[in-house]
Structure 1
Amino acid sequence: MIHSKWFRLLLVIVCIVAGGYFLQSYNQVDKPQMVNTDGRTFEKAQVIEIIQDNVQENGSRVGDQIVSLRIESGIHAGKTVQANCPNGLLFGTVCEPGMEVVVISSTIGQLDLHTVYNIDRSLPIYLYIAAFLILLSVVGGKKGVKSAVALLFTFICFVFLFFPMILRGTGPVAASILTSGIVLAATMYLINGWSKKSVTAFLATLGGILTAGISAIIFGQAVNLSGYNVSNIESLMFVAQNTMIDIGQILFAGILFASLGAVMDIAMDVTSACAEIEKHNPQISRKALFQAGMNVGRDVMGTMSTTLILAFFGGSLGTWVLDYVYDLPYLQLINSNSIGIEIMKGFSASFGVIFTVPIAAALSAFTWRKDNGKKTVVKL
């Protein structure tokens, strides 16, 4: 037993080292220069003084502020410079002395120009994420720590595997399936170790996300919607012209990723319930175990599907509000690209959740089963 534990530990270490080396080398991909950044850098700075404010007598702001900044990073670190600060909703901010900001430093010949990009949000973002991970670890204990590691691994897979894959020409749908499979396998191993329960939940989750993707593709073909109908298609087309990324598949790849978490949850719920039922009733038949899994899945399925639809609804709430306020005609609303895409996102992910229940129940019934008065275990 001790030798077995050391072997598993050694195997995990080898996989981590080999995986890290692969990701590091695979991530060495040449990115095309989409925007000219020669002579321009983003640096941290602190507002020293408001040289010229842009506030009007009625309290509104017109034009730019002119501020004095102390640069805190980059080649100009330590220098005090003068900068413009626009007051837009998407770009710039309202500067106050002592405020930490991010500044765009541009060098044109012998001339240095500085413009406030936005408030520096780095520290609050890091603290917010750290608070989440700490809370997850404290409340979840050992499983919480493993969940935090799984989240970190998921982020690494997105940045160092999925993005380089699609940039190298791999179809986003295929890349998302591979990435989801790796993330799923790592998560199952970290949370529950490799067991019949983990493997069963893994297979059920794969079946669920594939169902979500297939249903989205079928719906997209039926209503003539694709990744080319998204709102930011102009920017994506520019990317497609300069890279090998198939932007038409990005929408469907996103649906696969969005459904992964919910599908994984319900697959593990059903599988764990079936494993526990079989543990306390070893003589249960395959049919009875399948029915028990279906009963558990039905309880979770309704709330999980509602959660997915509400999540997509909340993410596109601005679009729904605009459509409601403008009081668009029904035929215009129901046939618009944006509404069709949001419906496809929400319901295709829910299709994945629904189909995961019978898949997980069936796999569990065939993993732990009893026929003809004799218990039989199907090895995976």
Structure 2
Amino acid sequence: MNLKKWFVRWGIPVVLLAAFVIFTVYINQVDKVALVNREGQTFEKGVVTEILQDNLQPNGTRVGEQRVLVRLTTGVRAGQELETTSASGFLFGAGCTVGMRVVVMQSVAGDSTITSIYSQDREWVIYAFAAAYLVVLCLVGGKQGIKGALGLVFTFFCILFVYLPLVYRGLSPFWVSVFICVITTLVTMYLIGGPTRKTLVATGGTVAGVVIAGISATIFSMATGITGWNVSDIESLLTLASTSGVQVGGLLFSGLLISSLGAVMDVAMSIGSAIAEIHAQNPALSRGELFKAGMHVGRDMMGTDSNTLILAFAGGSISMLVLDYAYSLPYQQIINSNNIGIAIMQGLSGSFGIVLAVPVTVALAVALYTWKRPNRAETAPAEDASRQTR
């Protein structure tokens, strides 16, 4: 690899990455308005050493609170054993057993300490599962799996350290999500495909599909009256909107773009790779024939990928659907509820993006792979006339 190719392959990306890191550090210099006063309150880790009073009933349920002894392992009381309580709720507390690692909500004021069990300590289990997934991805996928893992880590990084600070600063959540989709798609596709036309095709098709999903959601919103203000946690979001510059109404649609990114990226890269292979095997194909071959590949993918987001959002709403069924709610109440409308909008709009990304990606691939090449149908009459003169 000569110096020019090395610079194109690695030099330019490294420079752009350095500029992106500087940009990320800058936007994270933000002062947050405190929504809740947490002075003196911390969450510390500990280990249950003794059950002083259990709340387990003969039928296996828990009523009231447990009184337990916990040895704290972090915080100002690290190494001390404190008596605390654990509620029997499903959202907070834990069914403590001796040896269980827990997270303790602790409030310290002088010599006085008030504690309660917040939850079981799940941190390292989460890290272990995430690491196991990345290891399996790399082992099964080989070199491409490693690149995919790097792309996944970069995407997660962008959501936490780019999307959230920019939205908190008052920028449009919709356009911030478009920016995130473009950046993560470029990086992921570049890692997988390198500086090739296939990468450019997949990136263009992905961005087009995501924007189409956003436009579809906007049209659905205008027609149905469902907006980002109709979400279930709007009360907490209103408090956030009143104390910061966050544009709460756009969060719903920005989330839709990010959630559809993975499925659209899969479609665009698959089609780009397929057309690249078809063109490599038969460079003599006309633009029309290459477009038709690409659409055949895309139509086969539509049958399964069009269901991806609909089933994903339906799965996320399954608890609500079970409750609606159990309460025998009238059909008109269910179909016109905000929650159902939002789930339908997310599923259908994302699927619009997937389906319409197919012809856009195919057209872009045909244009790039046959760039500056005369169409066979256009040159055929001239070739026939040439043969006749000979």
Give the AA of the match of 1:371.
P
- Count of aligned positions: 376
2:374 maps to 371
Which is further off, 323-332 or 341-350?
A: 323-332
The aligned runs of 1:105-254 (5 Å cut-off) are: 105-254=106-255
Give the AA of the match of 2:355.
I
Tell me if structure 2 keeps the 8 A contact 1:286–1:371.
no
**CA separation in 2, counterparts of 1:58 and 1:322?**
25
**CA separation in 2, counterparts of 1:354 and 1:320?**
27
Tell me if structure 2 keeps the 8 A contact 1:216–1:252.
yes
- Indicate how the Cα distance of structure 1 residues 373 and 62 shifts in structure 2: closer, same or farther if over 3 A, else same: closer
- The answer to whether residue 52 in structure 2 is matched with residue 51 in structure 1 is yes
How far 1:243 moved relative to its partner? 1.1
Tell me if structure 2 keeps the 8 A contact 1:184–1:202.
yes
Gaps of 5+ in 1: none
2:38 maps to 37
Taking only the aligned residue pairs, the percentage that are identical comes to 48
Give the AA of the match of 1:361.
V
1:336 maps to 337
**CA separation in 1, counterparts of 2:375 and 2:170?**
53
- The answer to whether residue 329 in structure 2 is matched with residue 324 in structure 1 is no
- Indicate how the Cα distance of structure 1 residues 282 and 44 shifts in structure 2: closer, same or farther if over 3 A, else same: same
How far 1:343 moved relative to its partner? 0.5
- Indicate how the Cα distance of structure 1 residues 372 and 88 shifts in structure 2: closer, same or farther if over 3 A, else same: closer
Kindly provide the CA deviation profile for residues 81-140 of structure 1, in whole angstroms up to 9, marking residues without a partner as x.
Answer: 111111111000111111100001101343111111000001111110111000000000
Give the AA of the match of 1:155.
F
- SS across alignment from 2:229: helix
Which is further off, 367-376 or 160-169?
A: 367-376
- The answer to whether residue 4 in structure 2 is matched with residue 4 in structure 1 is yes
Tell me if structure 2 keeps the 8 A contact 1:286–1:368.
no
2:382 maps to none
1:354 maps to 355
How far 1:22 moved relative to its partner? 2.1
**CA separation in 2, counterparts of 1:6 and 1:287?**
36
- The answer to whether residue 346 in structure 2 is matched with residue 345 in structure 1 is yes
What root-mean-square deviation, in Å, do the aligned CA atoms of Structure 1 and Structure 2 show? Answer: 1.6
How far 1:59 moved relative to its partner? 4.2
Tell me if structure 1 keeps the 8 A contact 2:198–2:272.
yes
Give the AA of the match of 1:306.
N
1:101 maps to 102
How far 1:6 moved relative to its partner? 3.7
- The answer to whether residue 79 in structure 2 is matched with residue 88 in structure 1 is no
1:277 maps to 278
How far 1:301 moved relative to its partner? 0.9
Give the AA of the match of 2:311.
L
Gaps of 5+ in 2: 380-390
Kindly provide the CA deviation profile for residues 9-31 of structure 1, in whole angstroms up to 9, marking residues without a partner as x.
Answer: 33333333332222122211111
**CA separation in 1, counterparts of 2:137 and 2:26?**
32
Tell me if structure 2 keeps the 8 A contact 1:282–1:375.
no
Please say which structure displays the higher CA radius of gyration.
2
- SS across alignment from 2:307: helix
**CA separation in 2, counterparts of 1:214 and 1:58?**
53
**CA separation in 1, counterparts of 2:185 and 2:84?**
48
- SS across alignment from 1:237: helix
1:264 maps to 265
The aligned runs of 1:285-304 (5 Å cut-off) are: 285-304=286-305
- SS across alignment from 1:228: coil
How far 1:374 moved relative to its partner? 9.1
> Normalised by the size of structure 1, how large is the TM-score?
0.96
2:26 maps to 25
